[in-house]
Amino acid sequence: MGTKRGNLSIDSENIFPIIKKWVYSDHDIFMRELVSNGCDAITKLKKLDMMGEYEMPDDYKAKIQVIVNPEEKTLKFIDNGLGMTADEVEEYITQIAFSGATQFLEKYKDKTTEDEMIGHFGLGFYSSFMVADEVHIDTLSYQEGAAPVHWVSEGGTEYEMQEGSKTEVGTEITLFLNEDCLEFANEYRAREVLEKYCSFMPVEIFLSKANAEPEYETIDEDDILDTDEVVEHITEEPKEGEEGEPKKKAKIVKRPVSISDIHPLWAKSPSECTKEEYIDFYRKVFMDYKEPLFWIHLNMDYPFNLKGILYFPKINTEYDSIEGKIKLYNNQVFIADNIKEVIPEFLMVLKGVIDCPDLPLNVSRSALQNDGFVNKVADYISKKVADKLNGMFKTDKENYEKYWDDISPFIKFGCLKDEKFGEKVKDSILFKNLDHKYLTLEECIKANSKADEAAAEENTNTAEENADENTEANADEAKEENDAQEKKTDIFYVTDEQQQSQYINMFKEHGQDAILLTHNIDSAFITYLEQRNPELRFQRIDADVHDSLKDEVAEEEKETFKKTADDLVEIFRKELNNDKLEVKVEKLKDDNVASMAVLPEQSRRMEEMMKMYGMGGMDAGMFGSQATLILNANHPLVQFVVEHKRSKSVPIICKQLYDLAMLAHKPLSPEEMTAFVQRSNEIMMLLTK
């Protein structure tokens, strides 16, 4: 074959500058493209062998070699795949590949990074021009009588092709790196890129440095393989004082270690994988030395092909970032991390690998988002996660409860984000109660209705209707709340065990339970639960005084009680210099409590929402979110105030009772805290007199 010169058949003269500039930060993908071309060529050769169209040499071992040569500033990719004839190089490289690259760039050159292509699939062979000024192909086809081909292109639109000198079937691509990209001739950098994209490719990949000094290792004679290159046989005598035979060892040229694990765990059948293998795989891939909580092995052939492993990582401190990482592969070729179009958003806290050869990856991300098939994949993944959770809830409750605190924010987030998921896992959602036992929603409802019944029974003798009407302001509200309560089941919850401990103690003392909802996501989650279960009402433990915590006022007492209550309201409003102060007087069963604060649930939620939207400066009071001071008419301090209205201790008692109530309800402002500390000291001074 003589030398053939030609023009690459394209119109666009500026394709190379475009390729070179292509998403700058990502131009390491040329390695993936060239290695996967080699893999494809090997797969094709194996097929030909199976079909009887080619006979593999007996010692054939599929492999791809990547050789860096920093001195010559070159990078070589050598595969022992099917190779190409001159005609094929002409057709596949100069026509198909080139026109493919041209079309590809035409289509995507204006796209910004937000609409980046998934992993830029489809750029193929020509991505090598992102890093090289000149590219050589040396190839020998498997076909009988084929002549080796040497093809050269200097990154313009021209190429030259002549007979080459390759003697083994396969292809060798040599990149003459441009000055900006010499990093890729560095062995460590090359390894980094190969590990990123090619860790699980289906063919073994060996990286080496040209002209490097050979490295050696010493092994037992018995372990020598046919493929080992033995340099020296060594006899190791036993050390002085040690018994035994001399040991026979061999010094061999260090065995090359493949960068790729050609049988990744996800490709195996779940029944063949051990716990250790799952954990090792997790550590290796995610560099996370904490053990994952549990995992799900996805394995589906129909109606689409998808395999993968999703791990639930342990998130043990709140400082840990809960950003997960899900690596997407296409036939063991790494595509990208965290493709949100394929993986449901709420699963992004997980760590895992997903291999889905059927995904249309050579399209833009925005197209993926609207792709019915992609949506099905996402649905399948979230369904599998729900199945796993339900399965554990049913058959491995003990562990499930152990993991619950770690996984619950994620599950709740999933419920908020994905209706189907929420519906599927609704019976496997747990709530931790005051005794740190885990209950289902149904169990919470049952426990609460029991407590309600008990409270009602205890109070039947005295109560015809609620005797809350001790202040005019509260009378209507109390009635309304009372009406609503008849229809709704209240579930009380705690957001901060420490701060709300006063309420918790009261609850516990009177056999009333509450659940702990301490995570940020819980406020959105209870709203979600209320929307789905209109008969439920979630109330923070300090939202109201539950009936079970107070004594009913006997009929004959009602009048005097009302008078006392009115007096107390007046005194407290005056002493606290706030004539709008909400004060309610109750006969609380707990005689350790003199005062407490309650804030109706809706008002508090409104206040939280205002804070969230940065409206903190507004007067929360305008939404009625001022806390109500509850005074315990059974407590001697409160009784003292009514009975000794003119005592000079009354102002100090009123203020202190108010602050104590507020302290258990929310943090005091710096001024309030200063006044509180000062007053506490004054009270102690009184003890000294």
Ligand X SMILES: Nc1ncnc2c1ncn2[C@@H]1O[C@H](COP(=O)(O)OP(=O)(O)OP(=O)(O)O)[C@@H](O)[C@H]1O
The residues that touch ligand X, with contacts defined as CB under 6 A, are 33, 37-38, 41, 79, 81-82, 84, 92-93, 96-97, 100, 121-122, 124-126, 171
Question: Cβ of residue 362: shortest distance to ligand X, in angstroms?
Answer: 7
Question: Cβ of residue 96: shortest distance to ligand X, in angstroms?
Answer: 6
Check: CB of residue 540 under 8 Å from CB of residue 492: yes
Question: Cβ of residue 151: shortest distance to ligand X, in angstroms?
Answer: 11
Q: Is the Cβ of residue 122 or residue 344 nearer to ligand X in the bound state?
A: 122
Q: Angle 650-663/558-575 helices, nearest 10 degrees?
A: 90
Distance of alpha carbon 269 from alpha carbon 180, whole angstroms = 45
Distance of alpha carbon 689 from alpha carbon 687, whole angstroms = 5
Q: Angle 670-688/650-663 helices, nearest 10 degrees?
A: 130
Question: Cβ of residue 447: shortest distance to ligand X, in angstroms?
Answer: 59
* Count of CB atoms situated within 10 Å of the CB of 275: 10
Q: Is the Cβ of residue 45 or residue 660 nearer to ligand X in the bound state?
A: 45
In order of 304, 339, 344, the CA distances from 335 in angstroms are: 18, 9, 17
Q: Angle 521-532/601-612 helices, nearest 10 degrees?
A: 130
Cα 396–chain centre separation:
23
Question: Cβ of residue 145: shortest distance to ligand X, in angstroms?
Answer: 18
**Bridge partners (DSSP) listed for residue 336:** 328
Place of tokens 């260090």: 254
3-state helix vs strand vs coil in the chain, percent to 5:
45, 20, 35
Query: Which residues are within 8 A (CB) of 52 and not within 5 positions of it... i.e. 6 or more apart?
Result: none
Question: Cβ of residue 354: shortest distance to ligand X, in angstroms?
Answer: 19
Question: Cβ of residue 189: shortest distance to ligand X, in angstroms?
Answer: 22
Place of tokens 């102002």: 651
Q: Is the Cβ of residue 33 or residue 586 nearer to ligand X in the bound state?
A: 33
Q: Is the Cβ of residue 122 or residue 422 nearer to ligand X in the bound state?
A: 122
How many helices (DSSP H) and strands (DSSP E) are in the chain?
19, 25
Question: Cβ of residue 143: shortest distance to ligand X, in angstroms?
Answer: 12
Q: Where are the beta strands (DSSP E) in 157-268?
A: 158-163, 170-177, 204-209, 216-220, 230-236, 247-253
* Residue whose beta carbon is closest to ligand X: 124
Q: Which residue from 486, 434, 499 is spatially nearest to 456, judged by alpha carbons?
A: 486
Question: Cβ of residue 192: shortest distance to ligand X, in angstroms?
Answer: 22
In order of 147, 395, 437, 447, 514, the CA distances from 398 in angstroms are: 68, 9, 11, 21, 22
For 93-120, b where at least 16 C-beta lie within 10 A, e where not — what string?
bbeebbebbbebbeebeeeeeeebbbbb
Question: Cβ of residue 211: shortest distance to ligand X, in angstroms?
Answer: 24
> How many Å from the N-terminal Cα to the C-terminal Cα in the chain?
117
Three-state DSSP string of 504-526: HHHHHHCCCCCEECCCCHHHHHH
Question: Cβ of residue 84: shortest distance to ligand X, in angstroms?
Answer: 5
Cα 111–chain centre separation:
28
In order of 24, 180, 194, the CA distances from 197 in angstroms are: 17, 21, 5
Q: Is the Cβ of residue 171 or residue 564 nearer to ligand X in the bound state?
A: 171
Question: Cβ of residue 109: shortest distance to ligand X, in angstroms?
Answer: 16
Q: DSSP class of residue 117?
A: B
Place of tokens 């959602």: 429
Distance of alpha carbon 205 from alpha carbon 589, whole angstroms = 76
Q: Is the Cβ of residue 122 or residue 409 nearer to ligand X in the bound state?
A: 122
Q: Is the Cβ of residue 81 or residue 414 nearer to ligand X in the bound state?
A: 81
Distance of alpha carbon 279 from alpha carbon 10, whole angstroms = 51
Question: Cβ of residue 104: shortest distance to ligand X, in angstroms?
Answer: 8
Q: Is the Cβ of residue 19 or residue 439 nearer to ligand X in the bound state?
A: 19
Q: Which two structure tokens, joined as six digits, stand for 672?
A: 């309030």
Check: CB of residue 126 under 8 Å from CB of residue 19: yes
Question: Cβ of residue 126: shortest distance to ligand X, in angstroms?
Answer: 6
Distance of alpha carbon 326 from alpha carbon 329, whole angstroms = 10
Check: CB of residue 140 under 8 Å from CB of residue 170: yes
Question: Cβ of residue 327: shortest distance to ligand X, in angstroms?
Answer: 19
